[in-house]
Structure 1
Amino acid sequence: MPDGPGTGLTVVCGVDRPASATVAAALRPPRGALVAHDLRGLGEGVLHRRVVEHDGEQPVEHTAVLELAHGCVSCTLREDLLPLLVRLARDPDVEHVVLLLDPGLEVEIACEALHAVVPDGTDGPVTDLLELHGVVGVLDAATWLDDAGSDDALAERGLALTADDERTVARLVVGHAEFADVLVVTGRCGGAWERVRLDAVLARLAPRAATVVAPAAVGDPGPLGAEVTALLAALPPDARRGVPEDTQAPLLRGQPPLARDAGVSLLHVGHRRPFHPERLHAAFDVLLHGTVRARGRVWVASQPEHVLWLESAGGALQIGVAGTWLAADPDAWDDADDEHRAAAALRWDERWGDREQQLVVLVHDADPAGIVEALDAALLTDDELALGEDAWRRFDDPFEHRHADPCEDLAGEAGPVTGRHEGGAR
């Protein structure tokens, strides 16, 4: 475990409220605090907060109903959660804090706030005061794979945070598993084959995560808490520990298995020519059926200077600007970090520089060959390539910042997005 402040912090996430609450309670040590928020009233500006602290020999629970000026995730983090964590970090009687996230709150957004936002009255982020030991993801073996491949909206499951929350269940459950350092698997699969397939998906989605199988009925959660705590303490130095990764980071960190297993495949797609914007848009259908995750850096001919980041979970996909290719901006090389420059130098092409396609697609119920064929067909042909950049810029582009349906512009808390497609590339 890395050197850091004396007070520890563990983040617990999952869409099953009772199961996640059980795991979080099991992880709270005798002189620890448990913080949990219920965001189901966020759309009305109401926040329910529960804090369990040590007081002598018995834990004491404090509950509060708070009103926010603006019912949004950002206000919840800035106005309540982060100041509360600062207060607990400065309390000498608190040795460890367990943060239980509301099922509708994306773990990456919460952890980004822990690492980057500076609360009032402090000189740095919360992680300067609390040592983040790791993220624990809780998933249900019986339902997770179906949820991860679906296009069901959060509102259909009672998980939406506001009336206009259009996110999907897949986006949450895939994010929870992918971001976790330790996975706690509850429930039971329908059979041995279903369990093999689930394990094959998780090995490719979260190759660095340790896995704990929870007992069918958790009577005494103590042994489960001790096992998870031991795994967190034994995480390797390169464990994620809640640190969001840059879009230029390697896509296959953790050395996930690439061989096909139980019908589950991890495809790595790399090309040294740009996509035609309209044909790429049309190819999205193959990324939204029978897949768990697609993510990576995209080079579209009509925007030769922009790195586009593509990310899908189940039946929902979004794509947005994630920076500038180093070859397109003379100043970008100096602004890039050492890891980015080293990776670009290794892949540098005499004609295109660092421009390339780098996509990873996790397939569980689709034909991998069909995905590769559709993406290959979206690349520029030799004749189109010969037209040059001036002609490419005149291609019709569904991914421009301002464009009409079928895409809907978004500018959400996850960053600038140029197009979103849910349930297929409509």
Structure 2
Amino acid sequence: MPAILPVTLLSGLPGAGKTTLLRRLRAQSDGRRIGLIVNELRSADIDAATGAATDDVRVCLSPSDMQAAAAYFSQAGFDALIIEPSGLSEPTGMVETFRAGPGEHARFDTLVTVIDAWNFYRDYFSRDTVAQRVAGHGAPVGDDRRAVVDVLLDQVEFADVIVLNKCDLVNDQQRGILLGMLRALNPRADLIEATHGEVASASVLRTGRFNPDATARAAGWMQLMRGTPVPETTAFGIRSFIWQARRPFHPMRFAQLIHEKWRGVLRSKGYFWLASRNGHIGEWEQGGAISRLRSGGHWWCFTREEEWPKDAGHLAHIRSRWDERWGDRRQDLVFIGMGMDEAALRRRFEECLLTDEEMAFGEDAWANLTDPLPAWHEDHDEGGHGDHPGDAPGPGRH
């Protein structure tokens, strides 16, 4: 029976240096055969660009194509398989889409993301959509409204190994800031500094680092939510904190807050409780210059218990967050930043909570509070401008 091939998923924005890294890996293969699946149509010189023979490369645009390619590489005696998706693909989507793709002949082994050290700040604080970025590379303009920073964050936060490439183009301080940011955004990933894609193959091939649960929970914001501290870089003021409260936001004051500048906040995410939408969980997400709020469904206290999860672990989690009066309703937000004024941020959020007098109005009255926020079914993107994490834009247009 053919061996099950370990798969390395190689992600990174266009220009990060994935092709150079591939060429380096093939040059140090020491006789091992490395198959390559490319998940987009590429120029005819891809074989030459990656140093691969024609029989070592397959272009696969669907899960069924991938399954057939993986079967071929396995039966042909290859030792490892690399999947290189489009530079604007998100690894979470790739793993989900192609979960059945490699099939019985291959398994995900390592998720690798290549970061362009020179352009990281530009990409992180950009408000470009994927369609705009694709158009900038001369490709036909599509209607992909995803933000480039969303793709970048998915690639960083859902990775087992992060290769910080082009380190020769930044100085020591810039490199230190980048490494501190990446460690805070994904504490679990192995961080590798590289120039011209020079990475040891053992660091990215057949590492066994991929774990469906651990990789999915690697993001720094998720670690904070689960009560695990994330690495901080005191030399550059990179740190994090979590803010919680047991009373709802006033919609007018909260709407004003999200249009203010949150100096130094690089990443914020979590759940919030809005008085005017008392039964619904609010989801908040911000990365770089892009922020969103949307509905996360209903709080468990507004859901019949027979519809609650049945497994003991999930039920224990709900109970651990339960309040006799308010159920699971709460504010639960995490912040990762550089040079943040934590005391000022906490104070501004606390000012948005209902006062004692407003709380006394009662839940029926809260529904009549003036609420300028967009309807829950609409994604709400607001953005600012900035190009350095020391003056990072916060959520909102300012």
**TM-score past 0.5 threshold:** yes
Q: CA deviation at 1:185?
A: 0.8
Provide the secondary structure at the position in 1 that maps to 2:149: helix
Q: What is the distance in 2 between the residues matched to 1:84 and 1:147?
A: 32
Q: CA deviation at 1:27?
A: 5.4
Q: What is the distance in 1 between the residues matched to 2:43 and 2:180?
A: 37
TM-score (norm 1): 0.74
TM-score (norm 2): 0.78
Q: Which residue of 2 is the match for residue 227 of structure 1?
A: 203
Q: CA deviation at 1:181?
A: 0.9
Q: Which residue of 1 is the match for residue 110 of structure 2?
A: 134
Gaps (5+ residues) in structure 1? Answer: 39-46, 65-78, 116-123, 403-408, 410-416
CA contact under 8 A between 1:293 and 1:312: conserved in structure 2? yes
Q: Deviations for 1:47-88, whole angstroms, at most 9, x for unmatched residues?
A: 558897xxxx95536677xxxxxxxxxxxxxx9331122212
Q: CA deviation at 1:352?
A: 1.0
Q: What is the distance in 2 between the residues matched to 1:310 and 1:376?
A: 16
Q: Which residue of 1 is the match for residue 396 of structure 2?
A: 425
Q: Measured at CA, do residues 146 and 253 of structure 1 come closer, stay the same or move farther in structure 2, by a change above 3 Å?
A: farther
Provide the secondary structure at the position in 2 that maps to 1:335: coil
Q: Which has the higher helix share?
A: 2
Q: Deviations for 1:1-49, whole angstroms, at most 9, x for unmatched residues?
A: xxxx9232221111143612233455577444212234xxxxxxxx558
Q: What is the distance in 2 between the residues matched to 1:253 and 1:127?
A: 36
Residues 181-330 of structure 1 mapped to structure 2, 5 A cutoff: 181-188=160-167, 190-214=170-194, 216-218=195-197, 224-229=200-205, 232-233=207-208, 239-240=214-215, 251-252=225-226, 255-257=229-231, 260-286=234-260, 290-330=264-304
Q: CA deviation at 1:391?
A: 1.4
Q: Measured at CA, do residues 137 and 270 of structure 1 come closer, stay the same or move farther in structure 2, by a change above 3 Å?
A: same
Q: What is the distance in 1 between the residues matched to 2:95 and 2:209?
A: 21
Q: Measured at CA, do residues 126 and 327 of structure 1 come closer, stay the same or move farther in structure 2, by a change above 3 Å?
A: farther
Q: Measured at CA, do residues 376 and 128 of structure 1 come closer, stay the same or move farther in structure 2, by a change above 3 Å?
A: farther
Provide the secondary structure at the position in 2 that maps to 1:60: helix
Q: Deviations for 1:358-388, whole angstroms, at most 9, x for unmatched residues?
A: 1111112543333222222222221222222
Q: How high is the sequence identity, in percent, across the aligned residues?
A: 26
Q: Could you tell me which of 87, 91, 95 is aligned with 2:68?
A: 87
Q: Could you tell me which of 355, 365, 377 is aligned with 1:381?
A: 355
CA contact under 8 A between 1:271 and 1:356: conserved in structure 2? yes
Q: Measured at CA, do residues 349 and 192 of structure 1 come closer, stay the same or move farther in structure 2, by a change above 3 Å?
A: same
CA contact under 8 A between 1:149 and 1:292: conserved in structure 2? no
Q: Deviations for 1:62-116, whole angstroms, at most 9, x for unmatched residues?
A: 677xxxxxxxxxxxxxx9331122212333225543221212222222223234x
Q: Could you tell me which of 13, 17, 20 is aligned with 2:15?
A: 17
CA contact under 8 A between 2:268 and 2:335: conserved in structure 1? yes
Q: Which residue of 1 is the match for residue 35 of structure 2?
A: 33
CA contact under 8 A between 1:7 and 1:96: conserved in structure 2? yes
Q: What is the distance in 2 between the residues matched to 1:59 and 1:235?
A: 29
Q: CA deviation at 1:193?
A: 2.4
Q: Measured at CA, do residues 354 and 24 of structure 1 come closer, stay the same or move farther in structure 2, by a change above 3 Å?
A: farther
Q: What is the distance in 1 between the residues matched to 2:176 and 2:142?
A: 38
Q: What is the distance in 1 between the residues matched to 2:303 and 2:209?
A: 42
Provide the secondary structure at the position in 1 that maps to 2:39: strand
Q: CA deviation at 1:314?
A: 0.5
Gaps (5+ residues) in structure 2? Answer: 385-394
Q: CA deviation at 1:244?
A: 9.7
